[in-house]
Structure 1
Amino acid sequence: MPRPLRVAVVGSGPAGIYAADALLKSDVAADPGVSIDIFERMPAPFGLIRYGVAPDHPRIKGIITALHQVLDKPQIRLFGNVDYGTDIHLDDLRAFYDAVIFATGATADRSMSSLPGIDLDGSYGAADFVSWYDGHPDVPRTWPLDAEKVAVLGVGNVALDVARILAKTAEELLPTEIPPNVHEGLQANKAREIHVFGRRGPAQAKFSPMELRELDHSPSIEVVVDPEDIDYDEGSIATRRGNKQADMVAKTLEKWAIRDVGDRPHKLFLHFFESPSEILGEDGKVTGLRTERTELDGTGNVKGTGRFKEWDVTAVYRAVGYLSDKLPKLPWDIDSGTVPDEGGRVVQENGEHLTSTYVTGWIRRGPIGLIGHTKGDANETVANLLDDFANGRLQTPATPEPEAVDAFLAEHSVRYTTWDGWYKLDTAEKALGEPQGRERVKLVEREDMLRESGA
């Protein structure tokens, strides 16, 4: 009797789980069957959903329900707290599996090293701030929030998340799952003015319409848009006509630009046509931001005008995109920060496919698109993996028995969590929230997570 196809997935975020789901829905799942092990470096699953989505976005976190249903399938095992490149390596995975899919995402900040003043005290990467307020176990427990006026560079959803968290009160965020250290830190937050800067115009903003509108729902945040920043050229008009979301974003910004400014205590300014040229500093600390005014060039792009303005801010957050970490033993495109691939098949420097090795999600195409967009990636990658399987192009593992993986981790003293362990951790976090009438309170310390998971 033929054994099941054995597949390892590295990363338990949406991309990795969508890949597992695609495998389970394939014909191979029926005959000869499929057996999937998901490896995750964090003690808990769900990746970006747990550690990259703002805590006041329960709608997005609802995606966990669908992901949960996939991980509940008996053909899937979860190995949490197992770090690829440290606890287990590519050669190890090759010994246990017919194929390996890497879905490790992107968690670091894209560099802005060419911007003068980027290294000043008070200049922060958005990814680091997101990790702090989302209770990531590997970041410091405190965050400096003593700036009354703050700049956020970037006009994507992460920039909106950062600006919104800085602008909301701690009490507004208390009903969410934020841990006690984050709530305590936000109680001391002095920010009263948040300025979000984009170098292009309203039609080029990368906000999703719903995320943008949510800014205005807070009783403490007054969203302000300068009417002079509402401008379009032929390229911008074409973008609006061809992209419904871009048009909805532009309409929302137009509405805000013509209304009177209200009296909500925290002001959140959305600035367009302002290109950061220097972070200003004194004695090693941020004292301001200099921007160059830009103007549309007819194509939707912009050019500098030579007119500069200095903004009175003492903290700058860079939200210009995420960057993936280089994976050991895999080829790497340093410019895009991705693993080179063809249809999800990893491509080596010599142009040949790396046998039985695949990528999906942001590690494959870069940190672009919404969470749901990774499903198409996963389907394409899995389709090509199954094509390789059907045509005998996969390697044959030396020890494909599932128990061989458990024995390997035990032999190397790797303390790992399981899917059953997630249920235990989930119960523990919900129990912490119950006395306060909250759905859960997220555990932060890795050791606490391991203990509650029964690692």
Structure 2
Amino acid sequence: MTYVVTQSCCSDASCVTACPVNCIHPAPGEPGFAEAEMLYVDPATCMDCGACTTACPVGAVVPHTALTDDQLPFLELNASYYREHPHADRRPLAPVEVLPVLGERRPVRVAVVGAGPAGLFTADELLRQPTVEVDVLDRLPTPYGLVRAGVAPDHARTKDVTRLFARIEDQPGFRYLLGVEVGTDVTHEQLRSAYDAVVYATGSGTGRTLDVPGSGLVQSVTATDVVAWYNGHPDHLGPPLALDTERVVVVGNGNVALDVARVLTADPDVLAGTDIADHALAALRGSAVREVVVLGRRGPEHAAFTLPELIGLRGLDGVDVVVDGPVTVTSEKTRVLAELAARPPRGHRRRIVLRFGTTPVEVLGDARVDGIRVERAGECEDMVAGAVVAAIGYRARPVAGLPFDEVAGRVPSDGGRVEPGVYVAGWVKRGPRGFIGTNRSCAEETAARVFEDIDAGRLAPPVAPRPTAPVDLAGWRAIDAREREAGAPYRRPRVKLTDRTALLSAAAPSARSRRSAS
């Protein structure tokens, strides 16, 4: 029996370290690890010990005997990786990185701004040094960034990476300061005076808009707004678009585009078992959407979505997935697309259309969207649609007090160092690219710059007290418990609290108990 990776994983490499025969690749330090869509188990050398499935924080590694019909393609996908990338020179054990030892022994206090994967992985790397303490700040009362507010609700196993985050939170020296907005509640200068170092891991929270006429019409929105809405982000409680139209056009063909298409066409009864926001579930129950057309500017061979996401799309129940146009097989991804193109419609009530080689020219309508003009093979065509969703990427917001590259949409740095004492990690450092696990290697690089500056004596000790916050770790765990308890009667992972007042109220009992204890 062999074990199989079955999804786009968090790539934090816990499974690589756990494997006694080094049969999971690409591993940290190997070409392609940072950009890998997923990791792969070598069926020829897997010894069936199960260590990888125990170590995986998202439950992505399963024995091949437990694969569902929809997961069977991953068996061949894992095996084919090793035919294309043989590893004949592997050592018998996965390498374990030797941690640097700091020469300076005084306590070091670091603020990490942003409680998403980049921020938490950075905190984890910094806390490997026993003299370092880390405060993680976030403007929301809840942590986890895009894992909580960006991962599609029907991808529950991807959200299991939060179990890894919980282990990071349990480390000595870790502290949350949630509900604190840098620039409003505390300034960059105040953080610099209260900490030896400040690391910004604020991500890229703004969706890119279409640069065509009509993009400002009502019902022309960004995927960022749609995703935040159905995930219950406190800043996106109102619906970004009305679902009173039969066709929605999504421009862009990355994973987020597929997420939006999948959620808008999903059976609400299936979504009712997820952590989707209640307000979004209610809207989807009354939705008139019957078709979502996903437009890609280039051909199928250049599709930006990952193979695991495409395989998941192919296995959807109750939705016809249609590929509009011919597909030349040049890779595993185009092979799956070709199979979809040849598959006859199954007569389902809703469908997703993948259309390639199509460029948006203009969003049509007066006050509200009623169509989109596109160009394909040199000819223009007007498509009827009641909404247009731009899923063409994210963009970071400038950070007050830091330089910002407007073209690249990121803070320029030297491997994460903006200047001694100020650092960046995640998308605000490298731009909006990579997967959850990409933040691990990114965090390692940034932490190394912090350690270099500590050892070189470049960091001035703090001269001001740490800021306070309405929600700490105990407060977050009180929110988490409240949401999970609310979901339990309905067999849901949680029922999210989405209003800031409700979130702060749920965190308050923990604050009261701490005051009474003191």
Offset of residue 6 of structure 1: 0.9
RMSD of the alignment, in Å? Answer: 1.5
The alignment partner of 1:341 has SS state of coil
User: So what's the TM-score if we normalise by structure 2?
Assistant: 0.76
Cα distance in 2 for residues equivalent to 1:152 and 1:2: 54
Offset of residue 2 of structure 1: 4.8
Aligned to 1:5: 108
Which among 181, 190, 201 is matched to residue 103 of structure 1? 201
- Gaps of at least 5 residues in structure 1 are 238-246, 294-304, 347-353, 410-414
**1:65-96 Cα distance to aligned partner (Å, 9 max, x none):** 11111011121000100001111111111111
Cα distance in 1 for residues equivalent to 2:171 and 2:216: 47
Which among 397, 401, 406 is matched to residue 334 of structure 1? 406
1:316 lines up with 2:388 in the alignment? yes
Aligned to 1:50: 148
Assess if the C-alpha contact under 8 Å between 2:232 and 2:276 holds in 1: yes
The alignment partner of 2:362 has SS state of strand
Cα distance in 1 for residues equivalent to 2:278 and 2:399: 34
Q: Map of 1:3-402 to 2, 5 A cutoff?
A: 3-25=106-128, 29-30=129-130, 33-112=131-210, 114-143=211-240, 144-226=242-324, 228-231=325-328, 247-281=331-365, 283-293=366-376, 305-346=377-418, 354-399=419-464
Assess if the C-alpha contact under 8 Å between 1:201 and 1:229 holds in 2: no
Cα distance in 1 for residues equivalent to 2:174 and 2:237: 33
Cα distance in 2 for residues equivalent to 1:262 and 1:416: 52
Match for 1:123: what amino acid?
S
Match for 2:213: what amino acid?
P
- Identity over the aligned pairs, expressed in percent? 40
Cα distance in 2 for residues equivalent to 1:179 and 1:164: 16
Assess if the C-alpha contact under 8 Å between 2:217 and 2:367 holds in 1: yes
The alignment partner of 2:389 has SS state of strand
Assess if the C-alpha contact under 8 Å between 1:201 and 1:231 holds in 2: no
1:419 lines up with 2:473 in the alignment? yes
The alignment partner of 2:172 has SS state of coil
Assess if the C-alpha contact under 8 Å between 1:215 and 1:221 holds in 2: no
**1:180-221 Cα distance to aligned partner (Å, 9 max, x none):** 212111111111011000010111111111112222333221
Aligned to 2:496: 442
Offset of residue 306 of structure 1: 2.4
Offset of residue 224 of structure 1: 0.3
Assess if the C-alpha contact under 8 Å between 1:229 and 1:271 holds in 2: no
Cα distance in 2 for residues equivalent to 1:34 and 1:286: 53
Cα distance in 1 for residues equivalent to 2:421 and 2:205: 25
Cα distance in 1 for residues equivalent to 2:164 and 2:461: 32
Match for 2:490: what amino acid?
Q
Assess if the C-alpha contact under 8 Å between 1:425 and 1:452 holds in 2: yes
The alignment partner of 1:448 has SS state of helix
Cα distance in 1 for residues equivalent to 2:428 and 2:214: 29
Aligned to 1:350: none
Offset of residue 231 of structure 1: 3.9
Aligned residue pairs, count: 405
